[in-house]
Amino acid sequence: MEKYRVLIIDDEEDFVETIVKRLRDRGLDAEGALSGPEGLQILENKDFDVIILDVKMPKMSGIETLREIKKKKPLVEVIMLTGHGSVESGIQGLQLGAFNYVMKPVPLDELLKQMNQAYERKLIEEERNH
Amino acid sequence: MSDSMNFSNVKYFFLPTILLVSSLPLGLLANGSFALLAILLSGLSAFQTIRLLKRNGVRETEKVELDSFSCRNQIFSSVDQLSAGIAHEINNPLGIISQEIEWLRHILKKQEISSSVDRKDLDDCEDSLMEISRQVDRCNEIVQKLLSLARQVEPVIQEVEANDVVLSVLEIVNREARDFNINIVAQLDESLPPISTDPPLLRQAVLNLLVNARQAIERDGEICVSTRRTDSEFVEIEIRDNGCGISPENLNRVFTPFFSTKPEGKGSGLGLAICRGIIERLGGEITVESEFGKFTAFTIKLPVGKKKERSLFV
């Protein structure tokens, strides 16, 4: 598997820690952020290929964060992840350019499959833009 | 157009027919081959005329279809351009209104500290700002839809399993459907080949159709989502609901931008137009079938994937 860069933005600290560790074990360059603003700050200094983004977060919602991410880095692929998703936020997320909208809990292999597809899409878009 | 075509062709049919009918008694009265020849010639003439009539009819029908296709494309292209223009023009004022709302909230907060202002007035102002904000969100949503309709970005084609796309979207609507006592049944053909498609765009279209299906039922009903292979080139995804159905006079207008039967404020009339735009950009087609008061079924037909030489993740 290619070592691509993944950012996980979720306010559940345990979840972020666990998933970052497990993705690193699988050979990925993974980092975590505990809020939308923190994630956006990290994005200022480093490029990522795929972002896993929680929908329901205090301070700045996942949808608001997605909007900002797409303004700053339109080519980065975002997978929305939620435990209490609504159809409305699903529609909004996809309309704003999210790659997918996935319900928690999701098995790691399934999430990886989605992430690989999202990364493949980013490579196609990058190739097209060059 | 077809009416005038039929009328103008009537004379080509009647003339040889009269000739044929009038030659029959002649053939009976006269002896010899002349009468027989007259009957045969008239018969041939009538036969030829019917053939011409049919061919002419087919050509006219093709012309009508071509005219309506090119006309439809022109209309949609204009709607796309108009939508993009409106969306961009509205976006900027909406952005300014949102910023001004934030600024007014900031001022109100400062006023809260000062005891000279009437508390009730402040609450009224806050309520009013909240309502303005809600309406701005509504406008933003419409702008997003307009942009989706107009967006002419080239799809990013990947090979994916149609069933995976369907299942991921079903997860999003399942919970809400249960709340309305709507049962979602998935009948997925496990032997489907991968399809070549843009996964997020397809998810957006399928989600839109599922939301429409749920709204058509309102409460207590069933949505059946099935996948199947029709031939070596295409697979189909069907979303069928046993909701209110679509009346025959509205059936051929459902994909027209801004056409909606929903109450005012409940639907922009852009959802199905966006769906069709997406599916056509993916090289597929979308059709609808319905019986008023009984069911509605939308079928998406998509091309089967072409074998890739290299895959990143094997």
pLDDT tens per residue, range A22-78: 999 999 999 999 999 999 999 999 999 999 999 999 989 999 999 999 989 999 999
Domain that holds residue B60: 2-74
Q: What are the CA-CA distances from residue B83 to residues A94, B76, B77, B139, B307 (Å)?
A: 19, 10, 10, 13, 37
Complete edge-to-edge strand list for the sheet that includes strand A5-9: A29-33, A5-9, A50-54, A77-82, A100-103
CB distance B300 to B207 below 8 Å: no
Which residue is closest to A100 within chain B, CA to CA?
A: B200
pLDDT at B308: 52
Are B104 and B15 in the same domain? Answer: no
**B158 pairs with which residues across the strands?**
B197
A102 reaches B (C-beta below 8 A): yes
Rg over alpha carbons for chain A, rounded to the nearest Å, is 13
Mean pLDDT within B142-168: 82
For a pLDDT cut of 90, what percent of chain B falls above it? 39
Q: Evaluate if residue B224 carries a pLDDT over 80.
A: yes
Of the partner residues B156, B176, B200, the one whose CB lies closest to the CB of residue A94: B200
Provide the domain count of chain B: 3
Say how far apart CA B9 and CA B251 lie, in whole Å: 32
Question: Which one of B133, B150, B167 terminates a domain?
Answer: B150
More confident residue, B258 or B32: B258
- How far is residue A88 CA from its own chain's centroid? 19
A53, A9 Cβ separation under 8 angstroms: yes
Task: Give yes or no: residues B166 and B114 share one domain.
Answer: no
Kindly list the distances between the CA atom of residue A128 and the CA atoms of A125, B112, B155, B196, B240, in Å, as whole numbers in the listed order: 5, 54, 11, 17, 37
Within this chain, do residues B249 and B174 fall inside the same structural domain, yes or no?
yes
Please report whether residue B313 resides in a domain: no
Domain assignment of residue B35, yes or no: yes
| Residue of higher predicted confidence among B96 and B22 | B96
SS3 for A98? Answer: coil
Give the alpha-carbon dihedral of B286, B292, B141, A128, to 10 degrees.
Answer: 0
CATH number, domain of B188, equals: 3.30.565.10
Query: In this model, does residue B295 exceed pLDDT 60?
Result: yes
3-state secondary structure of A85: coil
Q: Do residues B137 and A52 make contact, with C-beta atoms less than 8 angstroms apart? A: no
Question: B205 to chain A nearest CA, in Å?
Answer: 10
| Angstrom distance (rounded) from CA B26 to CA B23 | 5
Residue B245 has pLDDT above 90, yes or no: yes
Q: Enter the tokens of residue B304.
A: 């089967």
- Is B288 found in the same domain as B187? yes
Is the domain of B137 the same as that of B199? no
Rounded Cα gap, residues B32 and B103, in angstroms: 106
Judged by CB atoms closer than 8 Å, whether chains meet at B172 and A103 is answered as yes
Residues A38, A32: Cα–Cα separation, whole Å: 9
pLDDT in tens, B226-243: 999 988 889 999 999 999
pLDDT grade, residue B107 (50/70/90)?
confident
Task: Find out whether B217 and B182 touch, Cβ atoms under 8 Å.
Answer: yes
Residues B199, B297 share a domain = yes
Instruction: Please state whether beta strands A50-54 and A77-82 pair in parallel, antiparallel, or not at all (unpaired).
Output: parallel
Question: What is the CATH number that goes with domain A5-129?
Answer: 3.40.50.2300
Q: Give the gap in angstroms from C-alpha A97 to the nearest C-alpha of chain B.
A: 8
Same domain, B166 and B297: yes
Are residues B162 and B146 part of one domain? no
pLDDT value of position B152:
58
> Chain B residues within 8 A (CB-CB) of chain A?
144-145, 148, 154, 156-158, 160, 168, 171-173, 175-176, 199-200, 203-204, 207-208, 211, 312-313
A127 phi, psi to nearest 5 deg:
-60, -40
Residue at a domain's end among B74, B102, B136: B74
**Is B300 in a helix, a strand, or coil?**
strand
Asked whether the beta carbons of B194 and B233 are under 8 A apart, the reply is no
Last residue of a domain, one of B58, B74, B90: B74
Instruction: Check if A94 contacts B (Cβ < 8 Å).
Output: yes
Residue B301 in contact with residue B289, Cβ under 8 Å?
Answer: no
